Amino acid sequence: MFLFIRPYVIFSLWLLALLLLALLLAQSPKAFGSPKLVVLVSVDQLGPGRLSADMPGGLGRLMREGRVYTNAKLDHGLTNTCPGHVAMSTGVNPGKAGIPGNSYIDHITGQQRYCVDDEDDAHRVFGAQFNRSPKSMTATTLGDWLKASSPVSRVFSVSGKDRSAITMAGKNPDGVYWYEKSVAKFTSSGYYGPLPDYVQVFNGDEFFVDGYAARFPKTWEHKPGSHRADDYAGESKKDLRHSGHPVNVGELEERAARFYASPFLDLATTELVKRVVDEERLGRKGVTDLLAISYSSLDVVGHRYGPYSGESEDTLAQIDTTIGELLTFLDERLAGDYVVALSSDHGVLPLPEWLVETGGMHCPVDGGRIPILKAMLQLYWRLYLDFTAPFGDPRDLVGFSAAGGTVSASYAQQLGITVEQVVDSMERYLEEQAYIEEVWTPLELEGSDDPISGLYRNLFVPGKSPHFFIQPKETCLVYFSEGTSHGSVYDYDRRVPIIFYGAGMASGLISEAVHSIDIAPTLGEKLGLDLPAGLDGRVLDLGKLDGN
């Protein structure tokens, strides 16, 4: 039959084929095709102002060669680690993903819960007495979408923190590893299957004696920060305030905690990542694999010493170096055929003492520090006077988390009062305090068009979010008497970097306003995956430059 096809038919078929090819070529800048590996990188507590194209390592390389969004923010209030990571990986706001905070109080049981805990003992953390899994997550991740469309693709996640590794990976990953202080090793949980031999070899019998951490020095030496002197007022005194911080010395428990608060945690994270890539042969099986990494030490160090400290600058420099080495490693292993997205889960407030010195303090409370224990004591005293005197315990009436307060409905009932009465009393009291901007109840959030209310709405999980959110004033730090924190709705906490790097996108600085929830949909679409319905993030056009 083929023999009878007339020459003009063959010519037409050729024309059709050429047309199809032209169409495909015209579309090709839109899709990555199938890179060997997608690498989702989070640097915990990295504000965008800390990055520059002059950095000599991987962060500098991404700044120079990547597509850098200079106006990127989180789209939710309570800017903490668990919500921040889940926003990056799922493309929905933390509320929709079932993650109202790092921890929350369950309205039914009154119990404080952790965002990645799990009552199922089959999900026990290896070496520990507690369980971890993504059970609380009510949304799927980029890794889940990848595996749904390509079941042979593999998804791995590594971090210094359980909540980061678990939320970046999703429901159906192949391996999730994190550093667990209490077991002084990198570990995983029964949810993910047994800990592979190569992770056990990495750990050794004792991580700090014959495991990978044995190579780290006794003390962490760093040059004084360029922004300010070492040993600055307001820094944590926990492991000294100046260079020469003890790390690999002391009892196992001390070493495990000191290592967690040092840049060496991130160096170990990269080394484990490299072993995962090699042992699992990621990107070398002819399909796209996904690797999520969250570097944790900048956050732990930032909490202790603030972002302008010598400690934090040295940590960032080491992260820059270690990411540079990782990219070189991937260049070599995957012949450069990989895509990177880098972002962060939140920023941080500089030390109040530094803000006072540099003129950045706007909090009306002198010095900007509101000691949390004192604030809580005052709140409980008020609750005691209003509701539980003389013999009741106000701590049974209201539990506080980082977001706000949760009232025990059953105790309120016992006392013959309503939840609303308690919320009302707390709201009136708090709004009289100089450090409070606003107290938000769910009803107020619903009826408000204030942009701040939207940030809290995006975080709201019924039955888990508090009965009232507490919004401190800008630069007021409700925290300990040393160190600093994040969690607020203000730009210093909400601004994050977003960088895409790899083939098929136009590099440069992009000023378009974007959010971290846009990362997963954008990558998903570029990989040609089916995106789930109801995503909050949008697909960014990676081919366009400003002004085009």
Cα–Cα distance, 356 to 33 (Å, whole number)? 51
Residues 452-481, interacting with Zn ion (CB under 5 A) = none
Judged by beta carbon, residue 78 or residue 92, the one nearer Zn ion is 78
Judged by beta carbon, residue 44 or residue 437, the one nearer Zn ion is 44
Least distance CB 463 / Zn ion (angstroms):
24
Per CB under 5 A, does 81 bind Zn ion? yes
Cα–Cα distance, 100 to 136 (Å, whole number)? 10
Judged by beta carbon, residue 44 or residue 162, the one nearer Zn ion is 44
SS3 478: strand
Least distance CB 77 / Zn ion (angstroms):
15
Least distance CB 457 / Zn ion (angstroms):
22
Both tokens of 279, joined, read 């042992």
Residues 251-310, interacting with Zn ion (CB under 5 A) = 299
According to DSSP, residue 160 is labeled S
Residues 411-450, interacting with Zn ion (CB under 5 A) = none
Least distance CB 302 / Zn ion (angstroms):
9
Judged by beta carbon, residue 164 or residue 453, the one nearer Zn ion is 164
Q: Please, which residues have CB within 8 angstroms of residue 372's CB and are 6 or more apart in sequence?
A: 478, 479, 480
Window contacting Zn ion (CB under 5 A); options: 21-29, 79-87, 182-190, 208-216:
79-87
SS3 235: coil
Note if the bond before 390 is cis, omega within 30 degrees.
yes
Judged by beta carbon, residue 271 or residue 345, the one nearer Zn ion is 345
What residue number has its CB nearest to Zn ion? 81
Least distance CB 36 / Zn ion (angstroms):
29
Judged by beta carbon, residue 94 or residue 211, the one nearer Zn ion is 94
Q: Between β-strands 175-180 and 155-159, what pairing exists: parallel, antiparallel or unpaired?
A: parallel
Binding residues for Zn ion, how many (CB under 5 A)? 4
Window contacting Zn ion (CB under 5 A); options: 106-114, 222-230, 243-251, 341-349:
341-349
Cβ burial of 130 (10 Å; 0-12, 13-18, 19+) is: middle
Per CB under 5 A, does 345 bind Zn ion? yes
Q: Between β-strands 245-246 and 468-472, what pairing exists: parallel, antiparallel or unpaired?
A: unpaired
Both tokens of 497, joined, read 């970097």
Residue keyed to tokens 């059709």: 16
According to DSSP, residue 495 is labeled B
Judged by beta carbon, residue 174 or residue 299, the one nearer Zn ion is 299
Window contacting Zn ion (CB under 5 A); options: 210-218, 342-350, 433-441, 522-530:
342-350
Per CB under 5 A, does 516 bind Zn ion? no
Judged by beta carbon, residue 234 or residue 487, the one nearer Zn ion is 487
Q: Are 343 and 519 in contact (CB under 8 A)?
A: yes
Least distance CB 94 / Zn ion (angstroms):
13
Cα–Cα distance, 97 to 141 (Å, whole number)? 10
Cα–Cα distance, 495 to 79 (Å, whole number)? 10
CA torsion through residues 212, 213, 217, 222, sign: positive
Residue keyed to tokens 């199938």: 34
Least distance CB 13 / Zn ion (angstroms):
58
Both tokens of 233, joined, read 């007022």
Least distance CB 184 / Zn ion (angstroms):
21
Cα–Cα distance, 372 to 143 (Å, whole number)? 38
Judged by beta carbon, residue 141 or residue 167, the one nearer Zn ion is 167
Window contacting Zn ion (CB under 5 A); options: 1-9, 204-212, 337-345, 458-466:
337-345
**What does the per-residue mask of binding to Zn ion show for 38-57, with x meaning CB under 5 A?**
------x-------------
Q: Are 337 and 445 in contact (CB under 8 A)?
A: no
Cα–Cα distance, 188 to 194 (Å, whole number)? 8
Window contacting Zn ion (CB under 5 A); options: 81-89, 135-143, 347-355, 494-502:
81-89
Cα–Cα distance, 314 to 56 (Å, whole number)? 13
Per CB under 5 A, does 337 bind Zn ion? no
Window contacting Zn ion (CB under 5 A); options: 343-351, 380-388, 403-411, 520-528:
343-351
Least distance CB 178 / Zn ion (angstroms):
13
Q: Which residues bind Zn ion (CB under 5 A)?
A: 44, 81, 299, 345
